[in-house]
Structure 1
């Protein structure tokens, strides 16, 4: 999970979440469901941060301290996120989203030479460091 979050964070340092979702769908031919899901995940991050703080404060009111690394905290947050996911899926279906239909793109995202550099340069820097580990 941490690797997935780190990967998404590194991509959003270069592009906006909307450009990232469009690029995943258009250039990597990932399903639109995945692209919209990743876009929804970026959109829900601020709300999730507030939810985690609320869960921590509610636990403190009961005399329970939930640390940042507490599994209980993330289990509760995961249940809330699953509810949000279900609500989002229902909203998309009610607005006419059909998963396996052909789509047109208002904004075509192309991969530039600098995008390849952003991908390859960190790999060439990190790979020798990983090989030196015991």
Structure 2
């Protein structure tokens, strides 16, 4: 059996913990520390588009929140807290989007005991999305040949997408059973995902350091 190092679980846990924490804490320092760390990570991973998205996507909501709280709320401190929190939430979301392989995360959860039927059901949906988008593109092109332009609000598009997805369901089901899938059988793994211990230690260290910085500045 092959093994592969996987870091998605510690990173997912870290993102989840910070998402919960900054929802209930009033710390500008922690928010800024998170945003800075995420920016450094994205630059290190050479994710230029994600870095620019993390910088500019939350800018308008953050400014709107800042102005609303500053003018009608409880003052400048709360305005800065919500301003920085908006960037922190956006950064965590973008980090999850570009830093987490959803398929790898689901397979890791399945190895840890998550029901396999649930995992493979989600994987089927994830892997079918590109095919569904291709079918939608073909539907739009066929409509143009008939002199009709379909917009994203056209109900015909969604009806046809439902039929396409339903046909894919049957095809994927037949493919899985033809490859020996058994809903009640024991799952075997061609490749097992192994999370190195140092990745958990690194996660704990980062969590502790972020709180030390927070306590020093508070």
State if a TM-score over 0.5 links the two structures.
yes
Instruction: Count matched residues.
Output: 106
Q: Which has the larger radius of gyration?
A: 2
> SS where residue 59 of structure 1 aligns?
helix
- Contact between 1:52 and 1:77, CA under 8 Å: does it hold in 2? yes
Aligned-residue CA RMSD (Å)? 2.8
Q: Which residue of 2 aligns with 1:85?
A: 169
Runs of 4+ in 1 over 4 A off after TM superposition: 9-12
Would you say 1:97 and 2:181 are equivalent positions? yes
Would you say 1:55 and 2:139 are equivalent positions? yes
Taking CA–CA contacts closer than 8 Å with sequence separation of 6 or more, which of the two structures ends up with the larger relative contact order?
A: 2
- Measured after TM superposition, the shift of residue 97 of structure 1 is 0.6
TM (norm. structure 1) is 0.62
Q: Which residue of 1 aligns with 2:118?
A: 34
Greater helix fraction, Structure 1 or Structure 2: 2
Assess, with a 3 A threshold, how the Cα gap between structure 1 residues 98 and 91 changes in structure 2: closer, same or farther.
same
Assess, with a 3 A threshold, how the Cα gap between structure 1 residues 10 and 63 changes in structure 2: closer, same or farther.
farther
> SS where residue 81 of structure 1 aligns?
helix
- Contact between 1:12 and 1:20, CA under 8 Å: does it hold in 2? no
Would you say 1:21 and 2:106 are equivalent positions? yes
Distance 2:127 2:104 in 1: 13
Would you say 1:107 and 2:107 are equivalent positions? no
Distance 1:91 1:10 in 2: 34
Where does structure 1 lack aligned partners over 5 or more consecutive residues? 1-8, 118-134
